[in-house]
Structure 1
Amino acid sequence: MSLQFNAIALLLVILILLGVLSSNSSITISATILLLMQQTFLSKYIPFMEKNGVAIGIIILTIGVLSPIVSGKIPIPNWSALLHWKMFAAIAVGALVAWFGGRGIPLMSSQPILLTGLLIGTVLGVAFLGGVPVGPLIAAGMLSLVVLGK
């Protein structure tokens, strides 16, 4: 197998290195899988991942978040906990973040050039600020307020 290094492959290698240097396995694994896909017969599945990757990722993330409730490690809150101000704040913030994410998908579709900046910012946030790579979608939603002004 001969590696065909182009700008995209170089970017993926840089992301792998940043992931390793920052001890962030999410970036390392994601970039490695995409590099392997790009450089092998699996490249034919990249359009599928492009089209469905966000939805698949959200499903997996939701399963991970719900699992502690299903396993019983986190109890279902009682009525008094649901009426606490912290729960109202959690619901409000959750709704706001979901709204940002909903705005992010159309922005990334209509102005894909901005995705590069969002990804760089997300990688920097993950690598150097201890963030997690769920940021591009939410960041795109927040950016849509500035760029689209709606």
Structure 2
Amino acid sequence: MISQATIFMLVLLVIALLAKNQSLLIAVLVLLVIKFIGVGDKVFPFFQQKGISLGVTIITIAVLTPIATGEIGFKQMGEAIRSSYAWVALLSGVVVALIAASGIDLLKNDPHITTALVLGTILAVAVFNGVAVGPLIGAGIAYLTMKVVQWLGSFWG
């Protein structure tokens, strides 16, 4: 008998194919292969514990690669800081990183929120061609929103 988890993954595989979303397709296929070859019990906990950190590291490597290759150097950095758009980007990067940091504990500790965020990310990746960094920033936004609601609730009893 096929498990509910496998059926869910197969549905995601179909969604990935229909949406022509390579990232979701690869992720689902990798997880299904791990599951079917029988190493899921060992690998899945590692992915759950370290996956976000590894993903952020890989994204950081991709972002820093132009510096490592010499495409971006001090000259380009100096030119960039003279641009108002660069300052907006810098401030946005700081704000997003702080928001995402607030969401890490939420993702680790609240399974209901995690499920909703994962479903939202799957929807965004599959249907809207989004990028799967959504759970981290989504958790941060959810965390901040919850705190604002709690704060506002303190005024109304």
Q: Could you say whether these structures have the same fold, taking a TM-score greater than 0.5 normalized by the shorter chain as the test?
A: yes
Q: Which residue of 2 aligns with 1:35?
A: 32
Instruction: Tell me the CA shift for residue 83 of structure 1.
Output: 3.1
Q: Which residue of 2 aligns with 1:17?
A: 14
Residue identity matched to 1:14: V
Residue identity matched to 2:5: I
Instruction: Tell me the CA shift for residue 67 of structure 1.
Output: 1.3
SS at match of 1:88: helix
Q: Which residue of 2 aligns with 1:117?
A: 116
Please show how residues 1-150 of structure 1 align to structure 2 within 5 Å: 5-43=2-40, 44-76=42-74, 77-149=76-148
Q: Which moved more, 1:82-91 or 1:35-44?
A: 35-44
Q: Which moved more, 1:45-54 or 1:75-84?
A: 75-84
Deviations 1:82-108 (A, max 9, x none): 132111101110011111210111111
TM-score, normalised to structure 2, is 0.84
Instruction: Tell me the CA shift for residue 69 of structure 1.
Output: 2.6
SS at match of 1:5: coil
Deviations 1:99-148 (A, max 9, x none): 12101111112211111111111111112222111111101110112224
Would the alpha carbon gap of residues 148 and 9 (structure 1) be closer, same or farther in structure 2, given more than 3 Å must change?
farther
Query: Tell me, which stretches of 5 or more residues in structure 2 are unaligned?
Result: 152-157
What is the alpha-carbon distance in structure 1 between the residues aligned to residue 28 and residue 147 of structure 2? 30
Instruction: Tell me the CA shift for residue 80 of structure 1.
Output: 4.1
RMSD: 1.8
Deviations 1:18-73 (A, max 9, x none): 11111111111111111222232211221111111111111111111111232233
Larger Rg: 2
What is the alpha-carbon distance in structure 2 between the residues aligned to residue 54 and residue 78 of structure 1? 29
What is the alpha-carbon distance in structure 1 between the residues aligned to residue 27 and residue 52 of structure 2? 13
What is the alpha-carbon distance in structure 1 between the residues aligned to residue 9 and residue 33 of structure 2? 10
